[in-house]
Amino acid sequence: MVKKGYFGNWGGAFIPEVLHQTFAELEHHFKTAQADPAFWQEYVDLMSTYSCRPTPLTHAENLSKHFGGAQIYIKREDLNHTGAHKANNVMGQGLLVKRMGKTRVIAETGAGQHGVATATMAAKFGFDCTIYMGEVDVQRQRPNVFWMEKMGATVVPVRDGSRTLKDAINEAFRDWVTNVDTTHYVFGTACGPAPFPEMVSWFQSIVGNEAYEQMRIQHGKNPARIYACVGGGSNAMGIFGRFLEEEGVELIGVEAGGKGVETGQHAARLCGNDASPGVAQGYRTMFLQNDDGQMLETHSVAAGLDYVGVSPILSDLWEQGKVRFTAATDQEVMDVLDLTMKKEGIIPALESAHGFVQAFKDAPEMSTDEGIIINMSGRGDKDIFTIAHAFDDPSWKEFIVQRAREYSK
């Protein structure tokens, strides 16, 4: 029998005793909600009135023609409210928080999308909200910090460790153990202690459920392959879930190759050779760590993929060979971003663009009657500073210099 909260060898709940009772309550509320069709209906209604669900599936005809192979379909999570798949999980957890009677929510954020989604949910439901964000990410995702603060959240820059996502998670846990009676930690991805991996994947499964129906209507059959970027793994779990048991659908997770998987400067847990089994941040998975079990620094142009661990559910699927994992480098990501904007007028987030990279490598080898789906987990306009910088865009630079001059007067 599989141990509770485990997926094969992975998962579990390695939590300090002070959280034991809270996890027992969370587990109870989650299981009750899961067994209650009215809860899911309430969730779907909320997502279709407050957000833009179902999000469209776009047939990228120009890109398909350009590569001359598979028909490329893009699942448009960028059109979800707050611009990414993150809102699915957050609104779902918000409904649970109401059921649990808590009044304050906290969250970690890397790219800032989960932080923005949580601040949005807190504003709508009337919760107090504190967001923890690594100082490095505060710098690279400044527009998201602005919006979180505007929606009434307190954003706390985390200055410890590598000052990225994992450090924000540690700090959120420290807050939670202190304020456990009033506070729910809205975990942002399909990682962390049980039941978070399963719970987040459940809320995100709305993406795959929609894509399944849409593909039948628009393409007439199942896709041959599905691509998703993998940071913690929530958007991948979301789109993969419905197709896991479908024959003939290959699932591909694309990790952050950073400056190259062989350089050590990346966040490739499952497709590289640098990760090993470990237990941190409350769960067991493949971590980028040294021989002593100390976590390593990771690198990616995409803040949301720059993380040492990965969903325990994906580690299990990887071990069983049910999902293929590859990596995309920072440079490849910039190249596909350029092409996608020019050909389709669509701006993927830097994170999502990782999935596009592998899809574009594979599409030309496939036949024109095969379809593939790329999960576009979020929109790229949040990355305007990073992308403009990477393109070394002269008119943007000129604008920033002028604006700075104005502000420093």
Partner 1 sequence: MQLEQHLRKSLEHKDILLMTHIVLGYPSFEVNREVIRQMVDNGVDCIEMQIPFSEPMADGPVIMKANLDSLAIGTRVEECLAFGKEMAATHSIPFLYMTYYNIIFKYGEERFIEACTEAGITGLIVPDLPPEQSEIFFRHARERNIAPILIYSPTSTHERMKELDDSGSGFIYCVARRGVTGKKSDLDEDFTSYLQRCRAATSKPLAVGFGIQSADDINALRGIADMAVIGSQTIRLVDEQGPEAVGPFIAELRG
Whichever of 291 and 365 has its CB closer to partner 1, that residue is 291
Q: Which residues bind partner 1 (CB under 8 A)?
A: 12-22, 160-161, 166, 170, 173-174, 177-181, 276-282, 284, 287, 289, 291-295
Minimal distance, residue 395 CB to partner 1, in Å? 42
Among 313, 298, 274, 18, smallest CA distance to 192 is for 313
Minimal distance, residue 22 CB to partner 1, in Å? 7
Whichever of 144 and 289 has its CB closer to partner 1, that residue is 289
Backbone angles phi, psi at 229, to 5 degrees: -75, 155
Could you tell me if 109 and 190 are in contact, meaning their C-beta atoms sit under 8 angstroms apart? no
Looking at residue 156, the DSSP 8-state letter turns out to be E
Question: Token pair of 139, please?
Answer: 């710098």
Distance CA 114, CA 104 (A): 16
Minimal distance, residue 311 CB to partner 1, in Å? 17
Distance CA 274, CA 255 (A): 13
Minimal distance, residue 197 CB to partner 1, in Å? 15
DSSP string, 345-378: S--B-HHHHHHHHHHHHHGGGS-TT-EEEEEE-B
Catalytic residue set: 86, 108, 377
Question: Token pair of 69, please?
Answer: 């192979």
Minimal distance, residue 235 CB to partner 1, in Å? 24
Distance CA 236, CA 339 (A): 23
Whichever of 160 and 398 has its CB closer to partner 1, that residue is 160
Minimal distance, residue 323 CB to partner 1, in Å? 25
Distance CA 141, CA 157 (A): 12
Distance CA 55, CA 60 (A): 15
Interaxial angle between packed helices 37-49 and 86-100, expressed in degrees from 0 to 180 and rounded to the nearest 10: 130
Question: Token pair of 28, please?
Answer: 């109870």
Backbone angles phi, psi at 76, to 5 degrees: -95, 70
